[in-house]
Structures are given as C-alpha cells and as structure tokens.
Amino acid sequence: MAGAFYLSTIGQIMKWARSRSLWYISTGTACCADEVLDTMGCRYDLERFGCLPQVDPRQADLLIVCGMVSYKAAPHLKNLYENMLAPKYVLAVGACANCGGPFSPEFSYSVVAGADQIIPVDVFVPGCPPRPEAIMNGLIALQEKICGQESSHF
C-alpha cells in the first residue's frame, strides 16, 4: 500500500521536482558551447527553467554535450558522466554530438560519430549550431520525459 502511494503521489512530486531543478554541467567541447552560453545569458535565461550551471559533476543532474567529441576527449567525457550521481540525464546539442555532423565517419578520422557512442543520450537537439530556442525546446522535452509525459515539443 505504501509502495503504491509512493508511486502514485510522491513519485509524481519527485519527478516534478527533478524536472524543475535540472542543475547541469556543460562540456564546451566545440562551438555549440557559444549557443549554450547565449541560452544561459540574460536574453534567453535558462535559469527560469530551474537550470543552474554547476562545475562539479557530483552536484549535477544534467550533462550538456555541446558539440563534437574527439577520440582524445571521449574517455574524459565518459569519466565525467560516470562521476555524476543518479538520476542523471544527457542532452546532446548540435549535429556533431548527434551523429558526427560535418565530421561524420566518412570525412573525419578523429571525431566520434555521436555522443551516444560513448554515453546514453536522452534528448538530441539538431542544428549546426542550434538556436537558443531549440536548446530550450530540447530542455523542455527532457523535462516532459522526466515527468513521463508524451512530449508535445517536436
């Protein structure tokens, strides 16, 4: 009975609280980091969604992979992800983090073909680079995914 109560009511509150306090750590691996900085800035203001920038992976819930991941950076990115405490989510921003983009495996020897080859990714944001609206859209889609809702933002 207690478990059912937890799953029904407290679980919903927990999901709501988690989705509204996504403290994130951002890996500025490439140029999409500039767009994420714009999203953090005063015009778009990511903090109104409850997102707070963190520098310590142990205090972060969300890992934003901004741009391409090279083979040299891949072990460090995986290390960063493994140092985060569960529940943890990953947002892949930009075409390079999604599939390699202009550095796809046919054209580049040194870029990993998507961040999902290393770590599990929850939401992919396409674009080269995506506009801040698209990053916010991906973030809202992640919030709805955490809440268990059917996303309406695609």
User: Are the C-beta atoms of residues 131 and 93 closer than 8 Å to each other?
Assistant: no
Rounded to the nearest whole angstrom, what is the least distance from the CB of residue 43 to other proteins in the complex? 34
Residue type, 116: D
User: Which residues 75-94 are close enough to bind other proteins by CB under 8 A?
Assistant: 75
In the complex with other proteins, which residue's Cβ is closer, 101 or 132? 101
Q: Do residues 64 and 71 touch, judged by C-beta distance below 8 A?
A: no
* Binding of residue 71 to other proteins (CB under 8 A): yes
Q: Quick check: 115 binds other proteins (CB under 8 A)?
A: no
Q: Is 100 in the site for other proteins (CB under 8 A)?
A: yes
Distances (CA, A) of 114 to 74, 82, 84, 111, 151: 11, 18, 20, 8, 23
Q: Is residue 128 a contact point for other proteins (CB under 8 A)?
A: no
| 93 strand-pairing partners | 66, 125
- The token duo for 83 is 């140092």
Instruction: Considering only residues 8 through 37, tell me which ones interact with other proteins, judged by CB under 8 A.
Output: none
* Binding status of residue 105 toward other proteins by CB under 8 A: yes
How many residues are listed for the chain in this entry? 154
In the complex, the residues that contact other proteins under the rule CB under 8 A are 71-72, 74-75, 99-100, 104-105, 109-110, 112-114, 117-118
